[in-house]
Amino acid sequence: MKVMIVDDEVIIRDGLSTVVNWEENGFTVLEPAASAEEALQRIPDEQPEIIFTDIRMTGLSGIDMAREVKKQFPDTEIIIISGFDEFAYAQQAMREGVSDYLLKTSRPGEIIQSAAKARERLEVRRRNEEGGRVQQTIVNRGFLRRLLASGSAPDARTEAEFWDRFPDLRPDADGFTVLRIWLLSVHSSGSGERGGRPDGDVYRILGSRLAERLPCAWLEWNGALLLLVKSRGEDDWSRMRPVLGHVEAELGCRVTAAVGLPFTQLQDLPGALAAAAEAGSYAWLLRAERRIRYEEVASRRGIRTVCTVEEESELFALLRAGDTSRLQSWITDLLERIILDPEATPGSMQAYLHSILVSARRWLERAAASIGYSSPLPSGTPFDIYELAKWPERIMVHELKQIMQQYSGMVSASSPVERAIAYIHDHLDQSLSLQQVAKHVHMNPNYFSELFKRETGRNYLEYVTQAKLRKAMRLLRETPAKISEVAGEIGYEDLKYFNRLFKKFTGLTPSEYRASAEVCPSLD
C-alpha cells in the first residue's frame, strides 16, 4: 500500500521516510512532497492510498490539501502529523475528512500503528464496496435473464429500468453505436466429442475477462456464455479474440463465438437473441470456424431429413457384422459428408440422424420378431433429440453400438432355427437356398429342413417366400420405390413372376396394394 509524506521541512520529510520501518510493515513510501501544491500535482498520477501531512506549510495548509484530495479521491486516508497539540486544529481536520491526528513527537511504532489502522479501514471499505458491486451485478444479471427469457419486447417501464441498470450500454449520442448479442460455446478438452461440457467457472472467468475489454453485460445462458455488447461493428471481435486465445491456452479449451444481428432499439432484443441462438446452433457443423455470423448461415435450406433405403441396407449390414471399428468409420464418414454440405442446418441434420437411429431400432425389432425372440429388448439410454445437433458423433456411436450389441446377444442366445431365420431376414435380397442357410448354422440340409418345419410349422421355401413378400409389402407402404426396385430388393428379377406371387399372397397386385395402403396405412 502506497504512502505519501507531505511536509515543507526537509528534516521532517526525510526523518519520517527513513526512521519508520515502512517496507517491513507492508507499505511503500513514495518520494516525499515539499508542499501541498506539489502533492496535489502528483497525487493523480501516483495514487497514494495513505497521506501523512503537516498542517502549517508554506502555501496551502495540510487541511486545505485534505479538502481538495477528498473531493477527487474520497477513499484516500489522510493523517495529520503536526507539531501543534491543539483541539481546534484536530476538530477542523476531522471535518475535512482527516482520519487521524498525530504529533510529530509520536514514536515510529505509533506512526506505523496509525498507518495500519488506515489500511484496515481502506480494506474494509473496499470489501464492502466490492460486495455491494457483486450483489448489484447479480441483481442486474437476474433482471437481464428474466427479460431475455420472457421472449417479448420490454414495455416502457422495463426499458427505462434496463438503461438504469446498464448505463454503459446506452447508444452514443450520434447513434452510431449498436448492440449485439454474442453466444460463446466453450468446449473443454478431455473425453468425448470436442471435449465435455465445461463447468460454470470457465464461463465466469471468460465473462469477467471480456468485461474488462468490452462494454458489455454477460450471463450463463443455455449452456453458453451470453454477451450483450455495446458494439462498433467488427471492433468488438478484434478485442474479443486475444482474450479468447488467452483463456483457451490457460484453461485448455476451445471457444466458438456466434453473433446475431445488430440492433439499436431494445424492442428488437427478442429477435436479436433468436438470431444469435440460430448462429450458435451451428457450433458443431462449423467447428472449424472461430466466429459464426447469423448473416452467413441464415440462407441455408437444409439437407434431406430421411435416410435412403441404400443407407439403411449399408447400416444394417454393419450392425449384423458386429465390427465396431467399421461402424465408427461409417459414422465419421457420414458426418463429414454433412459438414461439407453447404446447405446443412442443425435442424435438418438432427432430423436426418434421428431417422437413421429410428431405422436401426426398427431393424432390431424386426430381427427379434422374425426369430420369435421372447425377451423384451432394452430401450437403451434415453437422450434428448436436440442434443443430436450438439454432440452427433457421441450419440450416434453410443446408440448404434448399443443396437449392435443387442443384436449380437440376441442371435447368440437363439436356437439354430432362430439363427437361420435371422440370417434369412438379413439376406432377403438374395436367392436363399436351403443348403446355403443350413451351412450358415452348421447343420445337415436334410436334418435342418425337418427341424425348420417342426419349429416354424412351415416348410423352408414357403417361409422364405412369405418373408420376402412381407418385406415387399413394407417397402410398398413406406417408400416411393418403383415396383421393379421393390422386386429387386427381395431377390426377384422377373417382375411378372413377382407380381404373380404377390397377388397370390395378398389378393392384390403391388400397385393395388400400394394404393390401398395410402388410404389405410395399417393394411398388412
Residue 176: pLDDT band with limits 50, 70, 90: low
C-alpha cell recorded at residue 338:
454433412
Name the domain boundary from 410, 425, 453.
410
Q: What is the CATH number of the domain that holds 48?
A: 3.40.50.2300
- 129 domain-assigned: no
Residues 218 and 266: their CA atoms lie apart, in Å, by: 16
283, 305: one domain? no
310, 400: one domain? yes
Residues 462 and 458: their CA atoms lie apart, in Å, by: 6
* pLDDT score of 523: 47
Q: What is the CATH number of the domain that holds 285?
A: 3.30.70.270
- 138 domain-assigned: no
Closest to 251 measured CA to CA, from 294, 212, 196: 196
Burial, 220: exposed, middle or buried (Cβ in 10 Å; 0-12, 13-18, 19+)?
A: middle
- 137 domain-assigned: no
Which residues are within 8 A (CB) of 363 and not within 5 positions of it... i.e. 6 or more apart?
Answer: 312, 316, 319, 403
Our measurement of the distance from residue 427's CA atom to the centroid of its chain's CA atoms, rounded to an integer in Å, reads 44
Residues 367, 422 contacting (CB under 8 angstroms): yes
Q: What is the DSSP string of 43-70?
A: HHHH--SEEEE-SS-SSS-HHHHHHHHH
Strands of 178-188's sheet, edge to edge? 216-221, 224-231, 178-188, 253-259, 291-293
Average pLDDT over residues 393-412: 87
Average pLDDT over residues 407-423: 78
* pLDDT score of 70: 87
Least confident of 193-202, 337-346, 362-371: 193-202
373, 254: one domain? no
Burial, 475: exposed, middle or buried (Cβ in 10 Å; 0-12, 13-18, 19+)?
A: buried
Residues 171 and 159: their CA atoms lie apart, in Å, by: 13
Residues 392 and 357: their CA atoms lie apart, in Å, by: 11
Residues 9 and 431: their CA atoms lie apart, in Å, by: 114
Which residues are within 8 A (CB) of 343 and not within 5 positions of it... i.e. 6 or more apart?
Answer: 300, 301, 302, 303
* pLDDT tens digits, one per residue of 91-141: 666 776 788 888 888 888 999 999 999 999 888 888 877 777 778 888 988
392, 463: one domain? no
161, 281: one domain? yes
Name the domain boundary from 275, 297, 319.
297
* pLDDT score of 298: 93
Residues 285 and 182: their CA atoms lie apart, in Å, by: 18
* pLDDT tens digits, one per residue of 283-294: 899 988 889 999
* pLDDT score of 233: 64
Give the per-residue SS3 of 239-253.
Answer: HHHHHHHHHHHHHCE
* pLDDT score of 93: 67
Residues 359 and 353: their CA atoms lie apart, in Å, by: 10
229, 308: one domain? no
Name the domain boundary from 357, 378, 410.
410
104, 93: one domain? yes
Read off the pTM.
0.60
- 324 domain-assigned: yes
The percent of residues above 70 in pLDDT, for the chain, comes to 89
Helices (H), 82-221: 87-95, 108-150, 156-165, 200-213
Average pLDDT over residues 336-352: 95
* pLDDT score of 195: 45
Report the half-sphere exposure of 452 (CA within 13 A, side-chain side): 24
Q: Is the dihedral of CA 445, 451, 454, 455 positive or negative?
A: negative
Residues 52 and 49: their CA atoms lie apart, in Å, by: 10
- 145 domain-assigned: no
281, 181: one domain? yes
238, 312: one domain? no
375, 448: one domain? no
- 470 domain-assigned: yes
Q: What is the CATH number of the domain that holds 470?
A: 1.10.10.60
* pLDDT tens digits, one per residue of 161-170: 999 999 888 8
Q: How many CB atoms lie within 10 A of CB 378?
A: 11
Count: domains in the chain: 4
392, 304: one domain? yes
Residues 439, 392 contacting (CB under 8 angstroms): no
- Domain assignment of residue 189, given as a range: 157-297
- 506 domain-assigned: yes
- 131 domain-assigned: no
398, 338: one domain? yes
